[in-house]
A and B are shown apart, each in its own frame.
Chain A
C-alpha cells in the first residue's frame, strides 16, 4: 500500500485522476478502522493534511466554506456561534482526541447513514464542494448521499469543502447512543429554523439507508408558523403542532433492526428527539434565550 502526501490541491487532484482507487486520508478515523479490520485494502493512501486549500474555513456573503480538512475541534471552538447545529453535532463525535483529527470532509467521504455531521448539514441545506482535474462543482448535501456508504462523488473527485449559510435562527442537534461518549449514533436528529426565508430544516441520522430530511415535517412546521403569523409574532408552540411534528419526523424514518437498536426504538426515539429539539429551538426563537448545549 503506497502512502502519498499531496502538497497542494492541484497535486492531490492530479493524483486522484491518475489513481482513482487511492483512498484520501485526513483524520483517518473511519478509514483506518476499515483498514485495520481488513474491510478494505486500497492500493494507496493520499494524505491531504498538507493541502492548504482544505485546511481552513472562510466566510463570504453570509456563507461559510469549511475546508474538508478542518477538524471537529475547530468547528466547535470557532464556529459555534455561526453554525450552532453543526457545532453541536461535532461535539458528539467520539472523544477529544478524535475530534482533534476527524473532519466533516471525512464524515462525508464515508457517507455512512450514522455520520454525526450529516443531520446538521441537511437541516442547514449545506452544499458539498467536489473537485477534480475536470473542475469544481457544488451539490446540495441531500443529493450527495446515494446509498449506504455511497455518495455522488466521482472516482476522480475529492471532497474539498462544505458550504453553509450562517445561522439566521436557532438550531439543535441531538443524538441517541447507548453510552454517554464514544458511540455511534443509534439515531440522531437536527432541526434548524430559517426565519430569513420562513423555512424549517431537518436532518435524520441512522434512520434510513442514507441520512435524510423529514420534508413533510419541515413543510408542516413552516406552514404552521407562517399561517399563525408566528415568525414575526412568536408565541408558545401549540402542543398539537409539536406532537404532529414529532409524528412526521418519525414517519420520515425508514429504520432497520440492527446490532445498535431496533427499528421500533429508532422510530420512537426520533419522535421524542424531534419534539424536544423543536421545543428548544422555538423557545430560543421566541425568548431569544439559548438553552443548554
Chain B
C-alpha cells in the first residue's frame, strides 16, 4: 500500500484486519466493533495540520436570476483565505451523472433553494460560515416551476434547461407497450397514488479533505459510493486529467444512493488548489438536506383489468417523477419504473408511460430501490383493491399472477433465471404470525401505538395484515457496460501465503469488505486475505448501488483470483517438472486428487508476488425502444422479495405500531448469510419509514423540515421483530449464482405496511407516507 506523504491522520480506514470464513459463512465485519465502540474514523473525522475549512453559500430562492455577486466584504473578513464563484471554476463548470447539466457553482441563474453559489475557505469553520453570510448576491426572484405534471406538458412554463433539446421540462419520457391496447376486462380497478420525497438520511454528513499535490494535482479523501465517477466529474470541473485527481475512500457513514452525485468533491478541491493548503468541508445536517439528492416523489395513475377468475388482463399506468432542478438519476428512475411497473406479475396487455421532469424543487436522484419503490406502492395497492373487487384472498390473487422462470415481461424480456415469486408468497403466508392482542389483559403501553407517550390503553386499536411482492432490477441496465475491476496479489509473508484484494468498490455499510475476503479465501485456499484501502489507483468498480457489488465486484475478485491461481499452477507445474491434473489449493497447500499434497503455496511463491488485475463485465443488456419500450434484455437480473406486515392502528389518533415485518427473499446464493439478514432488516425499516413517517415536505420549492427534528426516521422503538426467510435459487448467469440483495426489502416493506394499515382501517390511503392526518381524515 502506497502511503501518501501528506496523508491525513486516521485515513484511509484501516480495514486490513483479516477475517475467517469463505463463501457461505458469516464472518463479522472488521469495522463492526469499531463502530459500536465509537472508535471508527468517518470522513468527518479527517484532519490535516494547517488545514482550512470550506463553506458553501447556497441560494435562498428556488428560482432566481443572479444579477451580481460581490465577494469583497467576505474576502476582507479576517481569517478568510479564498472566496470563489463560478468564475473561479478552473475547468468546465458542469457536472452530472447521466446528463451533464449542473453547474459546479451557479452562473446567471439558480434553479433550486440550496444550489451552490460561492465557496469560502477560512482558518476556522465558524469564520468560513460568517464570511459566507457576507457575500452579497443580487437575485432577481422568478416564479418557480413546482408542478411536475405541468412541467411535463405545459409549454407556457419557463424551460429550466433549454439546452436539453427536449420538450417542455422533460428529462425523459418512456412508454412501454405490449399486447393489445383495446382490451376490456370483467373487473377493472384504478387509482391515483402519490409518494412523498424521501431522504436517504445517512448519519454521516457529506465531508472530505482535499490536499494539493506537488505535481499540480490533488488528493481527495472522502466518503462516496463511486470513486471513479466522482473523479471523472471532479477532474472535468478542475480542468485536470483524471490521473491528477486521486481519490481515497474514508469512513462512510451510510449512503443509500445519496452519495452518488457530487457534493463537496469539486468544491473542496477548488479551495485546496486555490489556497495551496489542505481544506476540509463538512456539511451540517440542514445543509446536508440541501446538499444531496432525494428520492423522486411521484404521482401514479394505475388501472388494472382482470378476469372474474383473477387473471390479470391489462395494465394501464401513467407515472410522473419530479426530478427537481437537475437530471441526476431521473432517466434511470423513469427506465426502472416503466420496466418494473407491472410488479412481479404476468400481464399480457400493458400500456405504461413514465415522465421524469425538471422543476425548481430539490433535485432528486438515487435512493435505494430507485424507480422501483414508487410503482410498487401503486401496483400492490391495486392488487389488494382488485382482490377486494373480486372478493378474493389477496395472497391468492398474487399467486395466480406471479411471474416465474420463463415468463416474458412487458419489455419482451424473458426471465431466463429462477423467478420464484409464487414460492416466496407462499412462504410469507406460512410464516408464524405474532400473537394476537388479548383485549382482556392489562396492556403494556409500550406495545401499543403511541408507546410510552401513553395515548391509548387499547382503545380504538385495530390490527391489520398486509402483503407485498415486488420486483427490482440488479445492476446497470439499458445497454450500459457494467463492469468492475479487481487487483489480487498473492505472496509469502512470514512463511504464510497472504492475498491482497484491491478494488475501488465502496464499502458503504453493505458488507462488501467481508464478501471480497470470503471470495478470495474460497478461490485461493489461503487463510489470510487483506483488503487494500479503496482508491483510484486501481480500475473502476462502478457505484455501490443497484444491488450490484457482490455480483459485479464479487465477479471481478473471483476472476482475478482465478487468474492468480492459474499463474500459481503454472509455476507449480514448472517447478514439479510435469503437469498435474485437478490441482486445488487447500489450507495453503497445493493438492491434487490423484497425487495428494504436492507443495506448500509459500514454496512455489518464493520471493515473488503474483499479481493479476481483471475486469468482470456482466452479459450485455440492450436499450429500450423509445416508442414501445421493447428490449431483448433490458435488465441483467431481477430480484424478488415478499413482505408481510402486521400493524396495530389507533384508528382515532391515526398512530401506527408495526407489530411484525417479516420477509422472504431469494438471494440466489448467500455469500454471507448474517450480513444478508442485516441488509434485509435494515432495508425493511427504511421502507417502513417511507410508509408511515418519512417525507421531506416541500412547498413552493422550499424544504419545510430540513432536520432530524422534523424529518423523522424510525427509531428502535418503532422497529418490530423481523423474521427473515432466505431462499437460494441460483442465477446461472451470475458468479456463484448470486442475486442482488440490498434493495428489494426496501421496496416490499413499505407497500406491505400500507396494506396492513388499510386492512386495519378500511381506508384507501393513496399517499405514502400515511400520517396520522391521513388516517383520521384531518389532513386539511
Contact = CB atoms under 8 A, between A and B. Distances in A.
Given A178-B693, A276-B459, A265 B454 contact: no
Contacts of B772: 176, 178, 186, 261, 265, 269
A273 B455 contact: yes
Contact of B653 (A36, A182, A269): A269
A202 B618 CA distance: 67
B451 A38 contact: no
B291 to A, nearest CB: 15
Interface string A259-293: 11110110011001100100010000000000111
A274 to B, nearest CB: 12
A259 B459 CA distance: 27
A32 interface: no
A23 B104 CA distance: 40
A180 B717 contact: yes
A91 interface: yes
Interface residues of B, number: 43
A264 B718 contact: no
A122 to B, nearest CB: 17
A107 interface: no
Nearest to A89: B454
A276 B655 contact: no
Contact of A259 (B129, B444, B652, B704): B704
Interface in A76-106: 88, 91-92, 95
A148 interface: no
Interface string B748-780: 000000000000000000000001110010111
A183 B657 CA distance: 15
Interface in B432-484: 442-445, 449-457, 459
Contacts of B2: none
A63 interface: no
Contacts of B450: 174, 176-177, 180
B284 A36 contact: yes
Contact of B710 (A92, A95, A260, A276): A260
B286 interface: yes
A293 B449 CA distance: 14
B398 to A, nearest CB: 30
Most buried by B among A173, A276, A280: A276
Given A38-B129, A176-B653, A292-B445, A181 B452 contact: yes
A33 interface: yes
B705 interface: yes
Most buried by B among A180, A186, A273: A180
B32 interface: no
Given A37-B707, A38-B129, A293-B445, A177 B453 contact: yes
Contact of B455 (A176, A181, A260): A176
A181 B697 contact: no
A181 to B, nearest CB: 4
B773 A265 contact: yes
A264 B780 CA distance: 7
Contact of A181 (B449, B709, B718): B718
Given A176-B453, A179-B693, A292-B454, A268 B714 contact: no
A292 B457 contact: yes
Contacts of B715: 95, 179-182
A18 B657 CA distance: 51
Given A180-B718, A264-B780, A265-B778, A174 B709 contact: no
Interface string A167-202: 000001111111111111010000000000000000
B456 A276 contact: yes
Nearest to A271: B652
B58 to A, nearest CB: 13
B605 interface: no
Nearest to A291: B457
Contact of B705 (A37, A183, A259): A259
A260 B449 CA distance: 18
A174 B455 contact: yes
A184 B455 contact: no
Contact of B442 (A174, A186, A292): A292
Contacts of B692: 178
B677 interface: no
A37 B129 CA distance: 12
A174 B451 CA distance: 10
A151 B197 CA distance: 37
Contacts of B459: 276
Given A276-B456, A292-B443, A180 B129 contact: no
B718 A184 contact: no
Contacts of A264: 773, 778-780
Contacts of B137: none
A262 B654 CA distance: 13
A183 B717 CA distance: 12
Nearest to A36: B284
A230 B697 CA distance: 48
Interface in A44-88: 88
A37 B705 CA distance: 13
B712 interface: yes
A105 B86 CA distance: 49
Interface in B654-706: 654-655, 657, 692-693, 697, 704-705
B776 A268 contact: yes
A188 to B, nearest CB: 8
Nearest to A181: B717
A36 B282 CA distance: 13
Most buried by B among A36, A38, A175, A259: A259
Contacts of A92: 452-454
Contacts of A260: 710
B687 to A, nearest CB: 15
27 contacts: A36-B284, A37-B286, A37-B707, A88-B454, A91-B452, A92-B453, A92-B454, A95-B715, A173-B454, A178-B693, A178-B712, A179-B717, A180-B450, A180-B657, A180-B715, A181-B715, A181-B718, A183-B712, A259-B697, A259-B705, A260-B710, A262-B779, A264-B773, A268-B778, A273-B455, A291-B442, A292-B443
Given A179-B717, A265-B654, A276-B457, 15 more contacts: A36-B284, A37-B286, A37-B707, A174-B455, A175-B454, A176-B453, A179-B712, A180-B452, A181-B718, A184-B709, A259-B705, A264-B780, A273-B653, A276-B456, A276-B459
Interface of A: 33, 36-38, 88, 91-92, 95, 172-184, 186, 259-262, 264-265, 268-269, 272-273, 276, 280, 291-293
User: 6 tightest A-B contacts by CB?
Assistant: A180-B451, A265-B778, A181-B717, A264-B778, A175-B453, A180-B717
